[in-house]
Amino acid sequence: MRRYLCLIFAGLAFFALPNFNLFDIMPDFIGAIFIMVGLSKMYMYDGNFEDARKSAKFLLWISVLRLILCFWATSGGRRDYFVPFTFIICVLEAIYMISLFKGLYLGLEYTLMRADSERLVKRVNEAFTMSFIFVIASRLLEFAPQICEIYGQDAELDLSAGASFKMSMAQMKMYVMGVCLVCGLILGVIYLFITADTWIRIIADKNYAPFLKTKYETYLENNREEYVARKVSTLYFLFTLSFVFFFDFYIDGINIVPSAIGIVIAMASGLYVANLLSRGKATTLMLSLAAFISSCASYVFMNKVHLGINYLYWVESYNYKEFTLLESKTSIYASIAISAVEFILCSALVLFILSQMIKLFGKEKRTVAIPMLKFMSVPSLLTLLCAAIIRVFKTVEGHLATNKGVMQYIRNKAYITSESEYLEYMNNPLISQYERISSVSYALSIVSVILAIICVLYMIRIRRFTEGDYQNK
């Protein structure tokens, strides 16, 4: 049980680092996942642990949504269209983090007393108090950079109160962010120090971990069906969440949701199944590691390609060293090879997890969802295939953009006002080909999102059927 307590502490540590210019360098959703996994063998002892687990689940989704909104808010264009939503997300994060800390530490207080470890209760209360202060103060510190981000575009906004030297909000942003970052770091260090001191004592306590282990083994003996039902619920949640990251949608040349994160989450769901079946852990880890490495290689390659594309699009005088890869067809062949390997490995991982789930449901007599799980392989493979094709098309698009005629068209595209001028450009076969590929690539990005949504909704439907099957037994 000590490793699960360590996972909870690791999850809490992810909350310590402050945001930098709206971005969370250590995303809170990863910490929420660690806490959920850590509580997976504790929530049955006390209702407070169950409340903490539910709060961590909500916090995970909120944190992912905030990460996406903050990226769009700082990626150019009208930032003030997106930043107000980050205020709402910030408030929701604070609410669910407080709920998480409350459930977690009240559960610890109750179970520590039952384990004859009352001497640690005072430490737990101190950690909860510090965590509460940390959540409120850190969220207040995040409001100032968000306000600066909204008004940063308005260089005429004068903060000098009529003085001869005028200071705009754009100039103030750097100082405000610096002060908030330093204060956030200090606050995070204090929070982490008190939290670490408390959890190290809890993990090292000679009574607490054995007490939890005994209670867990007793629970398994007496409540096998309920235990499996709860495990299956977590399994569904993780596997469904992984599909949120299995689509490619490029903003400013960057895939905003890296597939590697989805692979890690899918691996977690695969390990859940393997644990319930008592087999398949080695295969899950091997496939996950191979898929993760291929996904990271693909992400690095595509970022390098899009760095070249961005230079071609927006820089008048550029250095060919930044996009040498795009000038030859080697980039296209490399993209096809890397995308094919990633597609094959990710598909193998997803299909293996689905096959394990089918075996589990057959073993536990949850038969209603088995045909639906078999069909789930179709939208899953289509999602991964669509993402692979997008990467190849994006590379081809960049390769064509290295042509001088196509480059000139790209830079003048916004200024074309007549049909005759447009048709004149389209007479160039490379420009015409570029336009077709660009349109198809954008359409596939939309299709990829739709397929990912279908996968998520379909998994939700399967879950309802499965839970209904269990309840009717």
Tens digit of pLDDT for each residue in 81-103?
Answer: 555 666 777 788 888 888 888 88
Higher pLDDT: 228 or 14? It is 14
Task: Write the pLDDT tens digit of every residue in 325-345.
Answer: 667 778 888 889 998 999 999
Which stretch of 84-88, 144-148, 270-274 has the lowest confidence by average pLDDT?
Answer: 144-148
Higher pLDDT: 293 or 154? It is 293
Report the pLDDT averaged over residues 225-238: 75
Which stretch of 16-20, 263-267, 282-286, 379-383 has the lowest confidence by average pLDDT?
Answer: 16-20
Judged by DSSP in three states, 105 sits in helix
Q: What whole-number distance in Å separates Cα of residue 441 and Cα of residue 429?
A: 18
The residue type of 245 is F
Alpha-helical regions (H) of 328-428: 330-363, 370-375, 377-401, 404-412, 419-426
Given this model, what pLDDT does residue 23 score?
Answer: 59
C-alpha torsion 252→326→439→441, nearest 10: -70
Given this model, what pLDDT does residue 281 score?
Answer: 87
Given this model, what pLDDT does residue 472 score?
Answer: 44
H or E element, residue 302: helix 281-314
Spell out the residues 6+ positions from residue 137 whose beta carbon is closer than 8 angstroms to its own: 187
Cα torsion angle, 212, 214, 217, 220, sign: negative
Higher pLDDT: 469 or 39? It is 39
Portion of the chain with pLDDT greater than 70, in percent: 74
Query: At 171, is the pLDDT very low, low, confident or very high (cuts 50, 70, 90)?
Result: low
Which stretch of 125-134, 158-167, 258-267 has the lowest confidence by average pLDDT?
Answer: 158-167
Alpha-helical regions (H) of 119-278: 121-151, 169-204, 208-222, 224-242, 259-277
Which stretch of 20-24, 400-404, 466-470 has the lowest confidence by average pLDDT?
Answer: 466-470
Given this model, what pLDDT does residue 340 score?
Answer: 92
Given this model, what pLDDT does residue 18 score?
Answer: 64
Query: At 151, is the pLDDT very low, low, confident or very high (cuts 50, 70, 90)?
Result: low
Query: At 155, is the pLDDT very low, low, confident or very high (cuts 50, 70, 90)?
Result: very low
Quick check: 150 pLDDT over 60? no
Query: At 278, is the pLDDT very low, low, confident or very high (cuts 50, 70, 90)?
Result: confident
**CA dist 136 → 63, 133, 338, 370, 464 (Å):** 16, 5, 45, 46, 37
Given this model, what pLDDT does residue 471 score?
Answer: 45
Quick check: 176 pLDDT over 80? no
Given this model, what pLDDT does residue 344 score?
Answer: 93
Given this model, what pLDDT does residue 83 score?
Answer: 57
Given this model, what pLDDT does residue 341 score?
Answer: 93
Q: Tally the residues of the chain.
A: 473
Query: At 170, is the pLDDT very low, low, confident or very high (cuts 50, 70, 90)?
Result: low
What is the pTM assigned to this prediction? 0.61
Higher pLDDT: 79 or 110? It is 110
Given this model, what pLDDT does residue 77 score?
Answer: 45
Report the pLDDT averaged over residues 242-257: 67
For the chain, the average pLDDT equals 76
Residue of 44, 28, 450, 461 whose CA lies nearest to 247? 450
Which stretch of 5-9, 42-46, 308-312, 394-398 has the lowest confidence by average pLDDT?
Answer: 308-312
Query: At 255, is the pLDDT very low, low, confident or very high (cuts 50, 70, 90)?
Result: low
Contact 242, 456 (CB under 8 A): no
